[in-house]
Structure 1
Amino acid sequence: MKIETIKLIPASKYLFVEITTNTGIKGVGEVGVWGFLDSTAEVIDKFRDYLVGKDPFNIEDHWNYLYRSMYFRGNIIMGDFQQLISLCGILKVKRWGYQSINY
């Protein structure tokens, strides 16, 4: 299984991200720091370059790479980073056939 797309979904004052795999499994979650949605979208775009084409089950590898690839880790970067890692976990749960709490 590989991550095929990472798509941003703006909704008024909120921003959601949807990760889709090549097998059709999707995970959706809210990202960002309220009031800084443009910055959040830029961070997701930067992380997208790394994650597309990768196996979402290698959560620890993704965590290490994304955490160590940024020199400055402010609220926006860490919030986006944590949501992407959480969505990889949700994809793993869905792959096993379990329902997640994800909306």
Structure 2
Amino acid sequence: MPRDHHALFVETDPATGSGQIYQVTGNIQNGMVFEDKPSEAPEQDPTFHEKRPLGTVQGGYEKAFRDVCLGIEVPKKQFDGARRLYPQEPIRRCQEWTAEVIQALVSGGIVS
């Protein structure tokens, strides 16, 4: 069953709602890659579903925030067709990666 894409968004311009997005893209058939890029307000994207505020980041957060994201392993290729490559490991998608990053950001005091 399809699941919604999860990403992290840091608003840097309150006037426009724009900011920086941090996410993994790809799929579990091919593996995923980390991506960070400038973004308009997420609500402007036609596929937008929901935004949940997580906290506040201080100015100059960019390097620490990105370092935490890069420190969490991206979901690898987990299937070859219908065959699971690592049946002993739980399946990881963007949702799991995002949750792990949030935990690390909060634990590290980068998001409060």
How high is the TM-score relative to the length of structure 1? 0.30
TM-score (norm 2): 0.29
Higher-Rg structure is: 2
